[in-house]
Amino acid sequence: GAVVSQHPSRVICKSGTSVKIECRSLDFQATTMFWYRQFPKQSLMLMATSNEGSKATYEQGVEKDKFLINHASLTLSTLTVTSAHPEDSSFYICSASHDRGHGNEKLFFGSGTQLSVL
C-alpha cells in the first residue's frame, strides 16, 4: 500500500518552544494532506486540511497562528506547533489522500508524532 512517512516520532520540548513535524508521501503525490490530533483514549480530531500551493483550511476551534501548516510540494506537508504549552501535548497524525483511480481514493496515515511539552 501507499506509504506516508512522518517525523519525528517523538518530541519532548520545553514550554514556549516551537516544534516542526514533517509528513511525506513516499510513493505517490498527495495534493491534499490532513492533520489530526489524538488525546489519550479519544478519537482522532481533524485539525486542518493542507492543500498543496495554497493556504490550509482549519477546523473550527483550531488556532491557525499556533498551528502553522505548509504544503510546499506534492509530497511534503509540515505542521509547526508554535510556542508549545503542556496542553498541546498530544499525538499528532498526518494523512495523505491517494487516488488509485476508478474512484478508489483512500487515506493513508503517517506513523504519528507523540509531542510532550514540559
* Residues forming the site for another protein (CB under 8 A): 1, 6, 32, 34, 42-46, 49, 91, 93, 97, 105-112, 114
Give the count of beta carbons closer than 10 Å to the beta carbon of residue 85. 11
- DSSP assignment of 52-118 equals TTS--EEPTT--TTTEEEEEEETTEEEEEE-S--GGG-EEEEEEEEEE-STT-EEEEE---EEEEE-
Closer residue to another protein (CB): 17 or 47: 47
CB of 19 to another protein, least distance (A): 18
Closer residue to another protein (CB): 84 or 96: 96
Q: Which three cell numbers stand for residue 74?
A: 506534492
CB of 81 to another protein, least distance (A): 18
Residues near 76 by beta carbon (within 8 Å), at least 6 away in sequence: 22, 23, 24, 25
The answer to whether the beta carbons of residues 6 and 110 sit under 8 Å apart is: yes
CB of 59 to another protein, least distance (A): 9
CB of 117 to another protein, least distance (A): 18
Closer residue to another protein (CB): 16 or 99: 99
Closer residue to another protein (CB): 82 or 112: 112
